[in-house]
Amino acid sequence: MCDKWLDLEAKTVIITGAASGIGKEIATAFAEQGSNIVVADINPDGQEVLSEFDGGADKHLFVKTDVTNQEDIEEMVAQTIEKYGKIDVLINNAGINIPRLLVDSKDAKSKYELNQKSVNFMIDINIKGVLFVTQAVAREMIKKESGVIINIDSECGLEGSEGQSCYAATKASLYSFTRSWCKELGKYGIRVVGMAPGIMEETGLRTLEYEEALAYTRGKTVNELRTGYKNVSVPLGREGKLREAANLACFLASKRAGYIHGTTYNISGGKSRG
């Protein structure tokens, strides 16, 4: 249902990684508000996801985009401008998490130790992808002197996380981007904010490969890990709902959040307070 209080109707919103999980739910929520949606995802399934959104085909666009590929980024921005003539909101949501130990003391040839490949993969998508997508989009926002950029971090970016040190470090860098870009872009009327989810409902991120790796790094079985999702010390005693993250994104993108700039909101049920 379109909420006049948020006033997001006809806003053009690019969401990277919106073929799945948190990004898809954010896109769904903006579509309900009557926004123009751009799904920028490496996964071609993003095309099919469009049919699930409110509004007609003239309000939805999928551009197959690898956020690590500069040509893809420029093509995605060009198609967005061609279809909608402007970009109002960018949600930097695409991200990956490969659980790995710094040192595996049990196995010198461990496949669960960080190496050049896994580290580069996370840095390329989670840091460089965010930077270069934002650079291309900010060029357009500067022309019209308005816009909102929302970086999807993780509460572990500040808290740290056992078996996820590189992932957490990439997410910590987004807190820093948010603070610096607020200083660079504020003068053009562009707000930059972050959102840091904690443990959320299941998304595409929670594959068996991910769970096996995370369980190994924590000396647990996959079943123990799964039981633990609900038992970790979250003061609210439950996982976060994807819609709760989407609601926060809609609020932060709206004029109601017009003086919120350069800061990152925790959405973790109190697991860590940022």
Positions marked catalytic: 167
Q: Which 7-66 residues touch ligand NAD, going by CB under 6 A?
A: 16-17, 19-23, 41-43, 65-66
Minimum CB separation of residue 62 from ligand NAD in Å reads 11
Minimum CB separation of residue 101 from ligand NAD in Å reads 19
CA–CA separation, 36 and 87 (whole Å): 9
Amino acid code (one letter) for 68? T
Q: Which stretch binds ligand NAD (CB under 6 A): 135-143, 192-200, 216-224, 253-261?
A: 192-200
β-bridge mates for residue 39, sequence order: 15, 62
Binds ligand NAD by CB under 6 A, chosen from 28, 33, 35, 93: 93
The set of residues, in sequence order, having a beta carbon less than 8 Å from that of 22 and lying 6+ positions away, is 93, 152, 197, 200, 203, 242, 245, 246
Q: Which stretch binds ligand NAD (CB under 6 A): 27-35, 75-83, 198-206, 258-266?
A: 198-206
Minimum CB separation of residue 105 from ligand NAD in Å reads 27
Q: Cite the DSSP H helix spans in the chain.
A: 21-32, 46-49, 70-84, 116-123, 130-144, 156-159, 165-185, 208-217, 222-231, 242-253
Binds ligand NAD by CB under 6 A, chosen from 29, 61, 182, 199: 199
The yes or no reply on residue 269 touching ligand NAD (CB under 6 A) is no
Choose among 126, 268, 133: nearest CA to 195. 268
Please tell me the count of residues contacting ligand NAD according to CB under 6 A.
29
The yes or no reply on residue 67 touching ligand NAD (CB under 6 A) is yes
Dihedral angle sign, alpha carbons of residues 177, 180, 184, 188: positive
The yes or no reply on residue 266 touching ligand NAD (CB under 6 A) is no
Side-chain-side CA neighbours of 25 within 13 Å: the count stands at: 17
CA–CA separation, 93 and 253 (whole Å): 14
β-bridge mates for residue 91, sequence order: 15, 150
Nearer to ligand NAD by C-beta: 34 or 93? 93
Residues 16, 129: contact at Cβ < 8 Å? yes
Which x/- pattern over 136-165 shows residues binding ligand NAD (rule: CB under 6 A)? ----------------x-x-----------
Which x/- pattern over 213-252 shows residues binding ligand NAD (rule: CB under 6 A)? ----------------------------------------
Contacting positions for ligand NAD (CB under 6 A) = 16-17, 19-23, 41-43, 65-68, 93-97, 125, 129, 152, 154, 197, 199-200, 203-205
